[in-house]
Chains A and B, each alone.
Chain A
Amino acid sequence: MNFGYLLVVSKNSQVDYLKLAYALAMSIKNTQKPGYNRVALVTDDVDEVNSLKSPWVFDHVIQWDQETFWDGRSWMDKLSPFDYTVCLDVDMLFFRDYSQWIDYLVRNADIFLPSKVYNYRGQVAEDDFYRKTFRENDLPNLYSLYTFFKKDSDLTDDFFELGRHIIKNPKEFSNIFLEKHKPKVLGTDEALSLSAKILGIEDIITYDLEFLKVVHMKSMLQGWPWPSEKWSDHIGFYFNKSAELKLGNYRQLDIVHYVEKDKVNDEVISVLEELLWKKR
């Protein structure tokens, strides 16, 4: 089985996305079984990858600069070198082996995106704050931060082709399909959700899967009784030398989308590198 994780970055003056991708790749290598731990990186600056201490953590490095920012992710089906791929947001970390999720998805889906995420206490996150566009326009509540797809599939081709078309023509699609609440920016989540709705494939590409859990650390998803801008104002990010993470006093075992990019600092990188080298 030719499976791997795909990470897409581009140079940014404010955030070192390569550093985040590097940390994620190391956490994948440190936790996933062989055969389920390959990582491909799409970047517009291959030279910068070579400046990392362990650039070999990326099994494939693909130079690509046709799009910037998250728009590049809408090309994931064309860029991935794997037959089966999970494309991830790079500000995420892995904490245990999730290979059984991949076994299930390969057997049962051409495309899969989760329709719910969790807070740091393991509860389903109720999103009344960030997803007004989805709610008002009756879009399927897809989270593209974890996107599984099979390359050789007509469904995959149609889904992503339409998604790209939507991203390239945001005003037109917003005016027709999102008139009840237009987003300020039509991002990948909105575009892929709209693509699924237009194609009528919502029930095929997303459904309840209790075991597939991603913790989403946007502050207003944490179920706190007060509004907050940054989750780290209220709970700590405790990453120990075994690369185990506690958020507040909750140990994290599922994939964590930490959102605040400064959480992966030199110390976190150092811990992950040490574990990686010991494992090699």
Chain B
Amino acid sequence: MEEAIIYDFDNIVMPKTEFMAKFDPRTGSILSVGPSVAFENDEHKLPIDEEIALMIIEGKMALTSCSINIDEGRVEISEVKSLFKIDDVLHRIIDRSFAKDTEVDLLVSYSKKQRIFKFALSEDLGGTYKNKSRKKLRKTVWNGETNMQFYVTDYNDPNVLYQKIELSLADIKGKEVVINQDVELPADFSIYTRRLFKNYILEYENN
């Protein structure tokens, strides 16, 4: 008679779920996110953080609004458009003197003397600004038509708007963009934007 195998169901330890993102190698867009067992036969896939995977699966982050940054076999979401935080929709660009993180993805510089704003993407994202810790070029694929809006407002108060600036990603890829100051600004002002990158910094040029 065969010996019955009795499983101790109360003490089963479930293995940690690993999540994968399946992507289109031509466009870099994510096609699907799920547990790794769902993609066993797929060629173009990379591991993805559980937190980000769950946000996509639960609908808190739109699948189609993310692009993949493929770097050493790891998925890094370079564009984050979460759907529920005010800080992602209306993100204040922090003054460099108060920034804890010195790495810059997009730098906005202001010259009071010349009355201009300059916008520069970091070098590793295909722009012109050199971060002190030089990173490898992030192989990023994204839609160049993606629009960015920058709102020049009263200091730490987006309720009072002075000037609106619109740029596309294609505008600042490989070059710095200069925009004229349209109106008189107070001594202290802030700049808000819809968040596409992690680290934005505002810098005042010495005049």
What is the interface of chain A, defined by CB distance below 8 A to chain B? 232-236, 238-241, 246, 249, 265-267, 270
Contact across chains for A233 and B85 when beta carbons are under 8 A apart: yes
Question: A241 and B155 in contact (CB under 8 A), knowing A266-B98, A267-B98?
Answer: yes
Question: A239 and B156 in contact (CB under 8 A), knowing A265-B98, A266-B98, A267-B98?
Answer: yes
A267 / chain B contacts, CB cutoff of 8 Å: 95, 98
B50 / chain A contacts, CB cutoff of 8 Å: none
**A241 partner, pick from B85, B87, B98, B188, beta carbons under 8 A:** B188
Report which residue of B84, B98, B154, B156 has the largest number of chain A beta carbons within 10 angstroms of its beta carbon. Answer: B156
Q: Given A232-B86, A239-B156, A270-B98, 16 other A-B contacts at CB below 8 A?
A: A232-B87, A233-B85, A233-B86, A234-B84, A235-B86, A236-B87, A236-B90, A238-B158, A240-B155, A240-B156, A240-B157, A241-B155, A241-B188, A265-B98, A266-B98, A267-B98
B84 / chain A contacts, CB cutoff of 8 Å: 233-234
What is the interface of chain B, defined by CB distance below 8 A to chain A? 84-87, 90, 92, 95, 98, 154-159, 188
Q: How far is the CA of A144 from the CA of B158 in the complex (A)?
A: 34
Label chain B's interface by main secondary structure.
mixed
Nearest A residue to B85, CB-CB: A233
A232 / chain B contacts, CB cutoff of 8 Å: 86-87
A241 / chain B contacts, CB cutoff of 8 Å: 155-156, 188
Q: How far is the CA of A233 from the CA of B88 in the complex (A)?
A: 9
Nearest B residue to A249, CB-CB: B159
A240 / chain B contacts, CB cutoff of 8 Å: 154-157
A–B complex contacts, Cβ < 8 Å, 24 sampled: A232-B86, A233-B84, A233-B86, A233-B87, A234-B84, A234-B85, A236-B86, A236-B87, A236-B90, A236-B92, A236-B158, A238-B157, A238-B159, A240-B154, A240-B155, A240-B157, A241-B155, A241-B188, A246-B159, A265-B98, A266-B98, A267-B95, A267-B98, A270-B98
Q: How many A-B residue pairs have CB under 8 A?
A: 35
A239 / chain B contacts, CB cutoff of 8 Å: 156
Could you tell me the distance in whole angstroms from the C-beta of A53 to the nearest C-beta in chain B?
A: 16
Q: How far is the CA of A84 from the CA of B87 in the complex (A)?
A: 42
B155 / chain A contacts, CB cutoff of 8 Å: 240-241
A233 / chain B contacts, CB cutoff of 8 Å: 84-87
The 3 closest A-B pairs by CB, nearest first: A238-B157, A233-B85, A267-B98
Report which residue of A232, A240, A266, A270 has the largest number of chain B beta carbons within 10 angstroms of its beta carbon. Answer: A240
Q: How far is the CA of A266 from the CA of B98 in the complex (A)?
A: 7
Could you tell me the distance in whole angstroms from the C-beta of B75 to the nearest C-beta in chain A?
A: 25
Q: How far is the CA of A235 from the CA of B89 in the complex (A)?
A: 11
A246 / chain B contacts, CB cutoff of 8 Å: 157, 159
Q: How far is the CA of A234 from the CA of B89 in the complex (A)?
A: 10
Could you tell me the distance in whole angstroms from the C-beta of A191 to the nearest C-beta in chain B?
A: 36
Q: How far is the CA of A233 from the CA of B155 in the complex (A)?
A: 20
Could you tell me the distance in whole angstroms from the C-beta of B65 to the nearest C-beta in chain A?
A: 18
Could you tell me the distance in whole angstroms from the C-beta of A93 to the nearest C-beta in chain B?
A: 14
A249 / chain B contacts, CB cutoff of 8 Å: 159
